[in-house]
Chain A
Amino acid sequence: DTAVSQTPKYLVTQMGNDKSIKCEQNLGHDTMYWYKQDSKKFLKIMFSYNNKELIINETVPNRFSPKSPDKAHLNLHINSLELGDSAVYFCASSQEAGRETQYFGPGTRLLVL
């Protein structure tokens, strides 16, 4: 059983569209994260939620809105997609906010045309 899963795995869409990426973890962790990996493989945190509450919000355009319906799920909604949003988005989780070891999902490859 996959510990951290993401859907979809691939997402190809047109500029200006709105799309969502879903993440679920079955590890019983309290904290979840979204990371963006650009074309040069550089990985940067976007958001973190602890027990459904936002605790980290990096400098991310407000077109990106995370939503955590419960502590096992953290979804990412993106409005008005732009070419520069093309990247791989990784979800991760950790046991709690202060715990360093994070477990990553397989990634969602987003291509905006």
Chain B
Amino acid sequence: GNSVTQMEGPVTLSEEAFLTINCTYTATGYPSLFWYVQYPGEGLQLLLKATKADDKGSNKGFEATYRKETTSFHLEKGSVQVSDSAVYFCALFYNQGGKLIFGQGTELSVKP
């Protein structure tokens, strides 16, 4: 079946450090891939997305590239800030099922 696996958290970094959160997926067909972010006490917000292989999604300094050959969509940011502390969810959408399938979430804590 379709599934998403993310690296386990929590991830703790110092401000200005480089961030990578790994995400791999299993899917039939060609899903769209997403990163959502959940700040403390809030709902999920779309961070970025990519709809086909080799697409790069980017927003607020975050980037992720849809890699079909490795079935991955790793999230990166060159220099994290304290305000980036949140839970990050990788997700896939396959049109046939009409559902978003989420990974388990990775908590990021950035210390000053």
* A44 and B103 alpha carbons, distance in the complex (Å): 9
Task: Indicate if the CB atoms of A41 and B104 lie closer than 8 Å.
Answer: yes
Which residue of B has the minimal Cβ distance to A41? B105
Kindly identify, within residues 64 to 113 of chain A, every residue whose CB is under 8 Å from any CB belonging to chain B.
90, 92, 97-98, 100-107
Which residue of B has the minimal Cβ distance to A97? B98
- How far is the CB of B102 from the nearest CB of chain A, in Å? 4
Is B43 in the interface zone, CB < 8 Å from A?
yes
Is B53 in the interface zone, CB < 8 Å from A?
no
* A102 and B46 alpha carbons, distance in the complex (Å): 8
Task: Indicate if the CB atoms of A104 and B45 lie closer than 8 Å.
Answer: yes
Is A55 in the interface zone, CB < 8 Å from B?
yes
* Per-residue contact bits, chain B 39-72, to A (CB 8 Å; 1 contact, 0 not): 0001111100101000000000000000000000
Chain A interface residue count, Cβ-Cβ cutoff 8 angstroms: 22
Task: Indicate if the CB atoms of A106 and B43 lie closer than 8 Å.
Answer: yes
* Per-residue contact bits, chain B 97-112, to A (CB 8 Å; 1 contact, 0 not): 1111010110100000
User: Interface size class for chain B?
Assistant: 20 to 34
Task: Indicate if the CB atoms of B46 and A106 lie closer than 8 Å.
Answer: no
* A43 and B44 alpha carbons, distance in the complex (Å): 10
Which residue of A has the minimal Cβ distance to B102? A43
Kindly identify, within residues 42 to 72 of chain A, every residue whose CB is under 8 Å from any CB belonging to chain B.
42-45, 48, 55-56
Complex interface: chain A residues within 8 A of B45 (CB): 104
Which residue of B has the minimal Cβ distance to A90? B43
- How far is the CB of B53 from the nearest CB of chain A, in Å? 16
Is B22 in the interface zone, CB < 8 Å from A?
no
From B42, B89, B100, B105, A100 is in contact (CB under 8 Å) with B100
Complex interface: chain B residues within 8 A of A98 (CB): 95, 98
Q: A residues near B, CB below 8 A?
A: 4, 40-45, 48, 55-56, 90, 92, 97-98, 100-107
A selection of 10 A-B contacts at a CB cut-off of 8 Å is A4-B43, A42-B105, A45-B99, A45-B100, A48-B98, A100-B51, A101-B49, A103-B46, A104-B44, A107-B42
